[in-house]
Amino acid sequence: MKIAFILPGGGRSGGVRCTVAAANLLAKRGHNVRLMYKKGKFRERIVSGINAVFFAGESDWLRHFTGEALAFNDVADIEFEKEEMIIGVGMWSSAQLGRLTKYDNPKVQYLHGLTPWMPSVEKEALSQPYPKIAVASYILEAVHSCNPASSCLLVPNGIDFNEYCPALSENDRDGAGTIYSRGWAKDPETILDVLQKLGSQIPEVPHYIFGQEKRPREISAVSYKRYPSVRQACEIYSRCRVWLLCSRSEGFGMPILEAMACGCAVVSTDCGGPKDIIKDGENGFLVDVGNSNKLFEKAKLLLKDEGLWRTFAEQSRITVKSYSWENSVDKLECFLRDIMERALK
């Protein structure tokens, strides 16, 4: 098959990361795959170029794509090949598919999360008639709520077990970790509040934090790594007994899988995708969005209770075994092939 993924941009988002992983595997299986991504504004491109040099290419997952990646200013200007499947990734790109009426190519929406901060874009995307792929069950429910007749397949993301596995001795596992971001969906206020509580009430536990933002003053330089490589991120996870995800909204929650694969016990807000992965009280804890007190209490419990931590860590390793990229792309490939075959009849 010929396949073109349309991305709303590059960078370190989970949607870009997962699309690149799936696209690389589809290409490895013999498909002709291209990525199209919207150009950032001039200043954004300058900053992106500087970061690419300074952080050795780790500031943009697009650099890990093995095929052709083309930038565009307007989606209507993209030239697609005959019989090339067009896949809009995320709500913005999915909404843009309606502008490509001059192409009768099969079109698919690859939904990596809801966008409560962009409700009009979300509504436009979900109301369109194209087949859809949802990476989490809450997205699938939203699709059917908007349009019960929609064709939508649940295809969870995967993880590369060669990249994410315990990287250090268990004797080096002594801390609590999280990812910091200033984005609304990541709830930076709650992240900082939980870290402050951990630091003041359990000062002997070190913090291990990474992200793509400049380090906020509330986080010490020794605790923070900006734009880590996959290997460095794996080592950070492997230093943590507990991993925290404090988001308001997560499409899937890749850091949860990565942390679990590296031996962490996870405490997460119930913010969308994580509820598919975490069974509360069995392989992790789920708490209400914005509840920094409960996030802290559950993290403290796991840091203090050796038996409970080991139980959760072991259950986490069992959980992640079902989330391979091979399994994910098997489902994705089958769905796309069926759509293509019906389009060619």
pLDDT band per the 50, 70, 90 thresholds, residue 344: confident
Tokens 């209490």, residue? 297
Query: pLDDT averaged over the chain?
Result: 94
Tell me the helices (H) and strands (E) count for the chain, helix number first.
Answer: 12, 13
pTM given for the model = 0.93
Report d(CA 144, CA 33) in Å as an integer: 29
Is 275 in contact with 138 (CB distance < 8 Å)?
yes
Determine how many CB atoms are found less than 10 A away from the CB of residue 257: 23
Query: Which residues, in sequence order, are bridge partners of residue 207?
Result: 176
**How many Cα atoms occupy the beta-carbon half-sphere of 268 within 13 Å?**
30
Token pair for 96: 């843009």
Q: Which CATH number fits domain 2-158+324-344: 1.10.150.20, 3.40.50.2000, 3.20.20.70, 3.90.1150.10?
A: 3.40.50.2000
C-beta of residue 163 within 8 angstroms of C-beta of residue 323: no
Q: Which residue type occupies 89? A: V
Q: Which residue, 225, 220, 187, is CA-closest to 206? A: 220
- Count CB-CB contacts under 10 A for residue 112: 28
Name the residue ranges covered by the structural domains of the chain: 2-158+324-344, 170-321
Q: And the tokens for 164?
A: 């994410």
**Crossing angle of the two packed helices 254-261 and 14-28, in degrees rounded to 10:** 70
CATH number at 170-321: 3.40.50.2000
The C-alpha atoms of residue 252 and residue 51 are separated, in whole angstroms, by 26
How does pLDDT run across 282-339, given as a tens digit for each residue? 999 999 999 999 999 999 999 999 999 999 999 999 999 999 999 999 999 999 999 9
Q: pLDDT per residue over 169-203, tens digit each?
A: 988 899 999 999 999 999 999 999 999 999 999 99
The yes-or-no answer to whether 2-158+324-344 and 170-321 have a common fold is yes
Could you report the per-residue pLDDT of 25-69, keeping only the tens digit for each? 999 999 999 999 998 765 555 556 666 555 655 778 999 999 999
